[in-house]
Amino acid sequence: MTTSYPGERGHGRGKLRIYLGAAPGVGKTYAMLAEGQRRRTRGTDVVGALIETHGRRITAAMAEGLEIVPRRTMNHRGASLTEMDLDAVLARHPQVALVDELAHTNVPGCRNAKRWQDVDELLEAGIDVITTLNIQHLESLSTVARQVTGVEQRETLPDDVARRADQIELVDMTPEALRRRMVHGNVYPPNRIEAALTHYFRPGNLTALRELALLWVADRVEEGMQRYRAEHGIAAPWETRERIVVGIAGEQGDEAVIRRAARIAARTPGSDLLAVHVDRDDGLTAGPDRALDTQQALVASVGGSFQQIPGEDVPETLLRFAQAENATQIVLGASLRGRVLTLLSGKSIPTRVARRAGHIDVHLVSRDRKATGRWSLAGSLARIRSRRAQARRATAEAAALTRLAAAVLRGHGDPPALLEEIRQMFGLDAVSLLERRPGGPGWDVVASAGERPPEGLGADLEVPVDTTMTLAARGRVANREDLRVLRSCAAQIVAGISSRHLEEQDAEAAWHAADLRSRTALLAATGENAHEQLAGARTALTTLAASEDDRTVLTPEDRVRLLTEAARAVDQVSRLVDDLRDLSRLHAGAVETYLRPVDLDEVLAACLDDLGPGRQEVTLSLAEDLPDVIADATLLTRILASLLADAVHRCPAGPPPALTASCPNGWVEVRITDQGPDERDGPASLALRLATDLADTMSVTLRCDRTPSGGRTVIIILPAAARLPSGAPPRATYPDDEEMQLR
């Protein structure tokens, strides 16, 4: 039975466009909505089938004017949840449907378990779909993302679904810009910003995720180009970038060939150097293992990659490899064998390659005769006989296993890349590393390689690694020896994953231990400081009380001095308590941030008032016409007041602390300098720790330097607010913030 929908246009399967991002908040939904608005203005029938604004006002504003299909409300475990109303969207049958979060898992009771399956129904109905996806939700990269971020990805998407998209557009943003966007409140609510910045959204995490996204998209572009060339019968290489293939025979003297190829590659930035050794069963090309190992190390040292592949016909195998890699140049070593050996082995390999290379340039490089020595017929024939048994495919596989183990132990190569090497090594169509799902039936894909990799058991080939891990593949291996080597390769990858996970756990534990030691030392120093201040206050008050009881005569000046000392000590203890309370609230994520233009003069005036009697002990030097700064007024006041009070406390008998403010290159720089004691051998003050954490909350630069005379200078760098036209309403501006520019 054929189901038709009102307004069905009969254009066949719809087109899928994915906006791909490295992390939440880069602007995927915003880009999707902007594309929907652009098409709507051209007269295209566009509806919002499922849009998640996550409370972001700028995103919500971009959705204004779009027709939104009401969601379907469902009850699950006593909670009321909403999902895309698939039937309503199909019945509405627009030209284009906007569907957010492609990897989302639907509430139990929906027709499909996954949102991408809903999208597939829309596409089958002839509806174009524009959607969004984060790189960490791809099954092949979910384990890598978990190792980077420490967060388990519960929702994953088969890579094949994303690969089938008609268009994939990367929504890119630098880690610094994304963190600024978070600080400005454009991604998460204020109570979640601090925790996000210090955990998932650390600069290192964002950089790694961004690199994963860029590399994955680059691979899709490469696949698209290769597919286009295949569909149009284009055999000639397209020199989108230089790929230099260097053939290695495993003979002494090949080092000169490798270095020459490396120099060719070095002349073109961005080029690839691919070294390949063809191992064939007749023994004619097999060289000493030690020489080949040395040459492999040399290839790695010059930035190239090395592959050892089996093949009966060396020139044919080399050319197939070069064409598959879209190589632009082949570098070979000139043969030093005599005419008799050339007759025995057929035409020389360089000659056969050059005649059939087509558009690929072939370079012939002379080998070093001193290193190679003279060839003799008797010696060569003896060497052929002795190596015949060694030049089998198992030798190539065992050597690849050694390289694989070394790469894992050195921490080089992520699991998908290692699986791809295994896939090519054994001639498999696709391969997946599966992990038994904890607490329930089924398997999770740890990593995969190839087209349509297995997602569970039932594949052509299954190789159990341990009680929880299994290697599943599409395709067959040649013999039992290959199967044994394949199992060893899989075990090496699993060992590498386990080792890396333990290293990350150790690093995380070490970081927490260091932070705990720092906090413990800070609290101990704070408690000692508070004890000293309370002792001083107690002494002053005891003296005053004794003078009343004993009728001791104190001069008015003595009374004022004692009262001032007691008040200052009490104020200092009160400030320490406030700092501890604020630091605790900050680490609990309870501090909200509201960035806006702030008058620095007003903030300093409030700080000096809060400083009390010590305000006369601070020397101020402010540049004329200081601009407003972008900051949270309350937090900035807290930072400066805490640092000024700490500076006054650090140098009670020395020169007074100094505060200077200037405006270099559009940034406002505030410096607080004192001549207090050196803290390098002890914990930093509570005030400095609090100020540093508060500055991080506002994404403001704060650092502490030593002065030449042994004191301390705290430097705070704030963005200057843009000058506003006369009569224009005040509005916060953020340099290099893409989202604010889009608004």
Q: What are the structural domain ranges in the chain?
A: 16-231, 243-391, 405-512, 596-742
Residue 728 — very low, low, confident or very high, per pLDDT cuts 50/70/90?
Answer: very low
User: What kind of fold does domain 405-512 have according to CATH?
Assistant: Beta-Lactamase (3.30.450)
More confident residue, 363 or 572: 363
Q: Which CATH number fits domain 16-231: 3.20.20.60, 3.40.50.300, 2.40.50.100, 3.40.720.10?
A: 3.40.50.300
Q: Do domains 16-231 and 243-391 have the same CATH topology?
A: yes
Half-sphere exposure of 518 (CA within 13 A, CB side): 13
Counts for the chain of helices (H) and strands (E), in that order: 24, 24
Asked whether the predicted pLDDT for residue 612 surpasses 70, the reply is: no
Percentage of the chain surpassing pLDDT 90? Answer: 14
Fill in the DSSP letter of residue 57.
H
Q: What is the mean pLDDT of residues 295-304?
A: 84
Q: Which residues contact 223 (CB under 8 A, 6 or more apart)?
A: 163
Tell the CATH topology of 243-391: Rossmann fold (3.40.50)
Q: How confident is the model at residue 7 (pLDDT cuts 50, 70, 90)?
A: very low
Alpha-carbon distances of 211 from 20, 22, 217, 241, 308, rounded to whole Å:
13, 8, 10, 19, 28
pLDDT tens for residues 33-70? 999 999 998 899 999 999 998 888 888 888 889 999 99
Residues 419-445, mean pLDDT to the nearest whole number:
84
What is the value of pTM for the model shown? 0.39
pLDDT tens string 67-98: 999 999 888 777 888 899 999 999 999 999 99
pLDDT at position 224, please? 64
Residue 685's SS3 state is: coil
The mean of the pLDDT values for the chain is 76
Which distant-in-sequence residues (6+ apart) come within 8 Å of 533 by Cβ?
A: 569, 570, 572, 573, 576
pLDDT in tens, 363-397: 888 765 554 444 444 544 454 444 444 444 455 55
Average pLDDT over residues 559-565: 77
Say if residue 303's pLDDT is above 70: yes
Is 345's pLDDT higher than 50?
A: no
Range 596-742: architecture per CATH: 2-Layer Sandwich (3.30)
